[in-house]
Amino acid sequence: MSDLRSLYEEVILDHNRNPRNYLHKPEGANHHAYGFNPLCGDEFTIHLTLKDGVITDVGFEGAGCAISTASASLMTEAIKGMSVAEADALFRSVHNLLTHEGEAGDIGKLQVLSGVHEYPARVKCATLAWHTLNAALHNDKETVTTE
Amino acid sequence: MSAVSPMAAMPLDIDRVRGDFPALHQQVHGNPLAYLDNAATTQKPRRVIEAISHYYEHDNANVHRGVHALSIRATAAFESARERVRAHLNASSEREIVFVRGATEAINLVAQSYGRACIGADDEILITEMEHHSNIVPWQMLCEQTGAQLRVVPINDAGELVPGAFEDLLGERTRLVAISHCSNALGTINPVREMITRAHAAGAKVLLDGAQAAAHLAVDVQALDCDFYALSGHKLYGPTGIGVLWARGELLDAMPPWQGGGEMIRQVSFEKSVYAPPPARFEAGTPNIAGAIGLAAALDYLDALGLANIAAHEQGLLAYATDRAAATPGMRIIGTAAHKASILSFELEGIHPHDLGTIFDSEGVAIRAGHHCAMPVMKHFCVPATARASFGLYNTRDDVDALFRAVDRARDLFA
Ligand SMILES: Cc1ncc(COP(=O)(O)O)c(C=O)c1O
């Protein structure tokens, strides 16, 4: 299939090879969450430093496929410096980008994840880190699964 | 493989065989389908599909309940399917053949009926590290209910049982040994014949999970001398939703029912119900009649080809694929037992199995990526998941070549 490249964009392959903020433990991290996809075994833990409603630092650890790893890596880059409200809005935009349930709007570099929509079996890979972020920000659950 | 008969195997007429399976003849993402996910489920030959349609078009009725012509025909077809299964497994009586939904239900039946009646707080159940979750969880549930202990025979890095470990763990408290005849995640064929002899000498009963093995080797329950044998129709080129528990007649006779309802009783009153003898005692409710008929057609098909011939064909493919894997940089086979069925589990350095699954699919190559319902096996090999190609009777060297073209494609993409 010629459009395999639309799933495995160069940016995604790059973030898979060299994930950003990976194994980085933010100073004063005060929000954490663990996400797990029991179907494929992908698992990530996200650590956040939240100061006065702003994400001042973020890091993640764990292991997963290229889509879930790149999505986590791109996410950490995007949310650093955002307020919780901005991160929540971005979470919804990415969700819309992947599921076409609504308008994604302009989401900059994260647009590279748009190809995932054509691969329904892989949407959960791309959303794992985002659901984990959501849990870390709102401390609602200890473990998130994308099943 | 030990199961190949010493007589020279007859080569399969592979073009004709492939012609028997309608689903194989399709393009997937513009490429001819290479279906290599047979350990998950097999495709169905036309005669299975036709047997099911014929039943629904002509004979559909409930069984054992009507005096009308259709019910009599349906009952006869259902009961002759039972006889067909008996013959295939060389069981001594068709009363020993219980129709269930699949291997999972067969194992749960043994756990909840035999297990709850005969296994107590000081007893041990012995399984292995390579079991499918369906041969782990029912025993854990039983242990919780009865206080029995679950003991686990470890595997080595080839994916074989550690030599001597089974004998060490087998003791006077061992009431039941539950092992896979063939592992779905590794392909390992266990030395069940010797294990059964030892287990019986220690006073334990033996359940074999034959979900995988039954598609690759001829199963003779009397020669094996096991006590319970579980299998799934859909892995045997038959339909989903039908499977078999074979159990020794004297064990079944003594086992209590595990589900109540119609079919399984002899007499019901509000004071007391009297249960039917086996196998009806274990078949509460309307059974999967079409499924049983389809399974019988699948066994006809398998026995006409001959399991020894099928095994020889599959072993040729496995050897070819194993050689190609060895020549592929970064490819590690997971499961290198001396006795293996045609299952190739592997990882490719730097590419997650889930990505392999998607890339292979784009080439028309269907494999399974995941933990294969054998999380303890993944843990043993320190991998989150593996990619698994499993070969069936209709696969060819072309399918293996397509697999390795897809491997090259993945390596190029991720280079
Ligand atoms: C070794 C083994 N045991 C048990 C099962 C369960 O079979 P089913 O899901 O058909 O009940 C499987 C199927 O994947 C298997 O491979």
| Residue B171 near residue B100 (C-beta atoms within 8 A) | no
Residue B82 confidence (pLDDT) = 98
Residue B415 confidence (pLDDT) = 87
Same domain, B31 and B82: no
Residue B263 confidence (pLDDT) = 82
Residue B220 confidence (pLDDT) = 98
Distance B39 CA to ligand 1 centre (A): 9
**Pairing assessment for the beta strands B243-247 and B228-232 based on DSSP bridges:** antiparallel
Q: How far apart are alpha carbons B308 and B316 in whole angstroms? A: 12
| Residue B175 near residue B148 (C-beta atoms within 8 A) | yes
Sorting pLDDT into bands at 50, 70 and 90, what band is B7?
A: low
The pLDDT tens digits for B166-193 are 999 999 999 999 999 999 999 999 999 9
Percent of chain B with pLDDT over 90: 93
Q: How far apart are alpha carbons A32 and A44 in whole angstroms? A: 11
In chain A, which residue's Cα lies nearest the Cα of B386?
A40
Sorting pLDDT into bands at 50, 70 and 90, what band is B2?
A: very low
Give the mean pLDDT of A52-63: 96
The answer to whether residue B1 scores a pLDDT higher than 70 is no
Give the mean pLDDT of A105-134: 93
Q: Kindly list the residues from chain A whose CB atom is less than 8 angstroms away from the CB atom of residue B351.
A: 66
Tell me whether residue A12 is in a domain: yes
DSSP state of B284: -
Give residue B361's identity as a one-letter amino acid code.
Answer: D
Asked if B369 lies within 8 A of A40 by C-beta distance, the reply is yes
Give the mean pLDDT of B362-371: 96
Any idea what the Cα angle at residue B42 is, between residues B39 and B46, rounded to 5°? Answer: 165
The pLDDT tens digits for B113-167 are 999 999 999 999 999 999 999 999 999 999 999 999 999 999 999 999 999 999 9
The pLDDT tens digits for B319-344 are 999 999 999 999 999 999 999 999 99
Read off the CATH number of the domain in which B123 is found.
3.40.640.10
Q: Which residues constitute the domain of residue B400? A: 6-44+306-414
Tell which residue, B240, B286, B232, B233, has the closest CA to residue B259.
B286
Same domain, B277 and B318: no
Tell me whether residue B1 is in a domain: no
Which residues share a beta bridge with B209?
Answer: B180, B230
Which residues share a beta bridge with A34?
Answer: A45, A143
Which residues share a beta bridge with B100?
Answer: B243
| Residue B374 near residue B187 (C-beta atoms within 8 A) | no
End-to-end CA distance of chain B: 37
Residue A147 confidence (pLDDT) = 57
Indicate the Cα dihedral angle B273, B277, B278, B283, nearest 10°.
Answer: -30
Read off the CATH number of the domain in which A57 is found.
3.90.1010.10
The pLDDT tens digits for B258-299 are 999 888 888 888 888 899 999 999 999 999 999 999 999 999
Final residue of a structural domain among B239, B272, B303: B303
Q: What is the mean pLDDT of chain B?
A: 96
Read off the CATH number of the domain in which B347 is found.
3.90.1150.10
Give the mean pLDDT of B309-320: 98
| Residue B97 near residue B109 (C-beta atoms within 8 A) | no
Tell me whether residue B333 is in a domain: yes
Same domain, B260 and B111: yes
Same domain, B54 and B36: no
Residue B272 has phi, psi (to 5 degrees) of -170, 145
Same domain, B257 and B376: no
Tell me whether residue A143 is in a domain: no
| Residue B80 near residue B289 (C-beta atoms within 8 A) | no
Please state the domain count of chain A: 1
The answer to whether residue A140 scores a pLDDT higher than 70 is no
DSSP line for B339-406: SB-SEEEEEETTB-HHHHHHHHHHTTEE-EEE-TT-HHHHHHTT-S-EEEEE--TT--HHHHHHHHHH
Distance from CA of A11 to the nearest CA of B (A): 12
Tell me whether residue A47 is in a domain: yes
Tell which residue, A59, A51, A50, has the closest CA to residue A77.
A59
Residue A143 confidence (pLDDT) = 67
Residue A141 confidence (pLDDT) = 57
Q: Kindly list the residues from chain B whose CB atom is less than 8 angstroms away from the CB atom of residue A1.
A: 29-30, 362-363
Q: Which residues constitute the domain of residue A114? A: 3-137
Same domain, B370 and B334: yes
Tell me how far the alpha carbon of residue B25 is from its chain's centroid: 25
Final residue of a structural domain among B275, B303, B331: B303
Token pair 């039983």 is at which residue?
B142
Please state the domain count of chain B: 2
Same domain, B275 and B317: no
Same domain, B321 and B226: no
Q: How far apart are alpha carbons A79 and A130 in whole angstroms? A: 11
The answer to whether residue B232 scores a pLDDT higher than 90 is yes
Give the mean pLDDT of B59-81: 94
Tell which residue, A63, A76, A125, has the closest CA to residue B357.
A125
**Pairing assessment for the beta strands B97-100 and A31-37 based on DSSP bridges:** unpaired
Q: How far apart are alpha carbons B397 and B314 in whole angstroms? A: 10
Token pair 């933990």 is at which residue?
B371
Tell me whether residue A64 is in a domain: yes
In chain B, which residue's Cα lies nearest the Cα of A63?
B384
Residue A65: which of B30, B355, B363 has the nearest Cβ? B355
Residue from B109, B128, B134 whose mutation best tests the ligand 1 pocket (most atoms within 8 A of CB):
B134
In chain A, which residue's Cα lies nearest the Cα of B363?
A1
Q: How far apart are alpha carbons B345 and B331 in whole angstroms? A: 10
Distance B244 CA to ligand 1 centre (A): 12
- The three-state secondary structure class of B226 is coil
Sorting pLDDT into bands at 50, 70 and 90, what band is B4?
A: very low
Residue B65 confidence (pLDDT) = 78
Tell me whether residue B385 is in a domain: yes
**What are the residues whose beta carbons fall under 8 Å from the beta carbon of B151, sequence distance 6 or more?**
B124, B125, B126, B127, B169, B174
Q: How far apart are alpha carbons A90 and A75 in whole angstroms? A: 9
Same domain, B282 and B158: yes
Residue A38 confidence (pLDDT) = 81
Same domain, B107 and B181: yes
Sorting pLDDT into bands at 50, 70 and 90, what band is B12?
A: very high
Final residue of a structural domain among B284, B303, B322: B303
Same domain, B108 and B221: yes
Give ligand 1 pocket residues (Cβ under 6 A).
B 102-104, 132, 134-135, 180, 184, 209, 211-212, 232, 234, 373
Give the mean pLDDT of B243-259: 97
- The three-state secondary structure class of A21 is coil
Same domain, B58 and B34: no
B63 token code pair? 């069984």
The answer to whether residue A41 scores a pLDDT higher than 90 is no
Q: How far apart are alpha carbons A25 and A59 in whole angstroms? A: 6
Which residues share a beta bridge with B128?
Answer: B153
Q: Which residues of B120-142 are buried (b: 16+ CB within 10 A; e: fewer)?
A: eeebbbbbbbbbbebbbbbbeeb
